[in-house]
Amino acid sequence: MTPEAATTARGAGFVLPPYPHDRLAELHATAAAVPGGIVDCSIGTPVDPMPDVARRALVESAAAATGYPATIGSPEYRTAAAAWIGRRFGVEVGPEQVVACIGTKELVASLPRALSLRDPSRDTVLYPGVAYPTYAMGAALAGLRAVPVPVDDAWRLDLAAVDESDAARALLLWLNDPANPTGAGNDRAGMAAAVAWARSRGVLVASDECYAEFTCDDRGDPAEPVTALAFGHDGVLAVHSLSKRSNMAGLRAGFVAGDAALVAYLGELRKHGGLMTPAPVQAAATAALGDDDHVVEQRARYAARRRRLVPVLERRGLVHDGGPSTFYLWLRSASGAEDGWSITRRLAATGLLVAPGELYGPQGAAHVRLALSVTDERLELTVDRLERSPRPEGS
Ligand SMILES: Cc1ncc(COP(=O)(O)O)c(C=O)c1O
């Protein structure tokens, strides 16, 4: 059941849809039964080391965590976040324009509710038609309409396709550059146009930039990341996470930055709600944000895995059909003979689990997403298995 269908089920109240990855339980078991075990590329959960600076800060600050942490983030954390935005994006924000969150999934899921409390006159959340499922779920959890914005052949938002009646009701527009699951991004002009489109219609922009450090150009080389804050702070929030940048997903650290009034509102709301990032986690995130060397290393790991796997998959009839950014491959059948679920089943039989593109919206149904967040050793195992597996018919 889609979130929208779930919310409209009469009499039953809000019926939760199955959690997207739980739909893979059977195929997970298939892959796990292969001798040598599963190579799980279905979830973008980092496996490489956390930077030493972060680990040290975490441990050193733990004993001092007797009191409550600052909900909005310690002055050090907010300052480090603002400095990182200045350094990496060339955009100036003050520490008072930053608020901590407990990883960004929590923020993504709760932002529509927070913003609709502030402005109940609008009831719609717009989000990319192929996207991280939590954008739609956040709208459902707020009792709002989730309206997907179609994406074009290059996986960019087609805002011209949004019905003006939906735009007039829209509270919020989600952007995600570079994008999960497609890897598309580095689209400065598209982002500028989207911010202008939203601003002219009184729609707030939440720009999820959690993969910004894994922005690449068309040749696959590291490129300057883009932030929606480059096009003015007014009505814009940029959402950032330490999970992918610094392999800290288990610690739960993120922040949101931008429009001073919105950030202050979110900070106050979060104080009332007790949404505190633990102090040692804030200390670790502060230290990680001050270090760029580990990010360079991580980028190189993902690039090497991409180079290793793409030709192997091509020999098995699968082409990467997304952009060069993030650490996801967005694969489709070269012959067009298989849809995303068929590809997922075929790969699961070799022990490799990927995510069917349909989990990211109906427009993704022909694709699968493969996360390069597996160790090099597991990657070699899957390369070996794929090379020995039968080629699909017609390839
Ligand atoms: C697009 C996108 N946004 C947000 C998140 C949430 O990340 P976290 O809660 O670890 O910060 C993810 C995680 O996969 C994601 O892919």
Query: Is residue 44 in contact with ligand 1, taking CB distance under 6 Å?
Result: yes
Give per-residue pLDDT as tens, 310-326.
Answer: 999 999 999 999 999 99
Atom of ligand 1 nearest to the CA of 176: 1
Given a cut of 80, whether residue 10 has pLDDT beyond it is no
Atom of ligand 1 nearest to the CA of 45: 14
Given a cut of 60, whether residue 5 has pLDDT beyond it is no
Please report the pLDDT score of residue 395 as a whole number: 61
Output the residue whose Cα is nearest ligand 1's atom 5.
105
Given a cut of 70, whether residue 78 has pLDDT beyond it is yes
Query: Is residue 246 in contact with ligand 1, taking CB distance under 6 Å?
Result: no
Say whether 263 sits in a helix, a strand or coil: helix
Paired strand residues for 173: 126, 205
Give per-residue pLDDT as tens, 359-380.
Answer: 999 999 999 999 999 999 999 9
DSSP 176-228: ESSPTTT-----HHHHHHHHHHHHHTT-EEEEE-TTGGG-B-TTS-B-----G
Give per-residue pLDDT as tens, 160-208.
Answer: 999 999 999 999 999 999 999 999 999 999 999 999 999 999 999 999 9
The secondary structure of residue 14, as a DSSP letter, is -
Give the helix, strand, coil percentages of the chain, each rounded to 5: 45, 15, 40
Please report the pLDDT score of residue 391 as a whole number: 83
Q: Kindly list the distances between the CA atom of residue 62 and the CA atoms of 21, 88, 123, 273, 395, in Å, as whole numbers in the listed order.
A: 33, 29, 42, 23, 56
Instruction: Provide the terminal-to-terminal Cα distance of the chain, rounded to the nearest Å.
Output: 34
* DSSP-H helix ranges across the chain: 3-8, 25-32, 52-62, 75-89, 104-118, 134-141, 164-169, 188-200, 242-245, 260-273, 279-289, 293-315, 340-348, 376-388
Residue with more model confidence, 2 or 287 = 287
Q: Name the residue of 47, 104, 175 whose CB sits within 8 Å of the most ligand 1 atoms, as the mutation to test its pocket.
A: 104
Region label for 239, one of left (φ > 0), alpha (ψ between -120 and 50) or beta (otherwise): beta
Please report the pLDDT score of residue 1 as a whole number: 44
Type of residue at 20:
P
Query: Is residue 103 in contact with ligand 1, taking CB distance under 6 Å?
Result: yes
Give per-residue pLDDT as tens, 294-350.
Answer: 999 999 999 999 999 999 999 999 999 999 999 999 999 999 999 999 999 999 999
Atom of ligand 1 nearest to the CA of 101: 11
Q: How far apart are CA 202 and CA 184, in angstroms?
A: 27
Q: How far is the CA of 387 from the centre of ligand 1 (A)?
A: 32
Residue 3 — pLDDT band, cuts 50, 70, 90?
very low
Task: Give me the chain's average pLDDT, please.
Answer: 96
Given a cut of 60, whether residue 9 has pLDDT beyond it is no
Q: How far apart are CA 296 and CA 245, in angstroms?
A: 10
Give per-residue pLDDT as tens, 220-243.
Answer: 999 999 999 999 999 999 999 999
Residue with more model confidence, 393 or 138 = 138
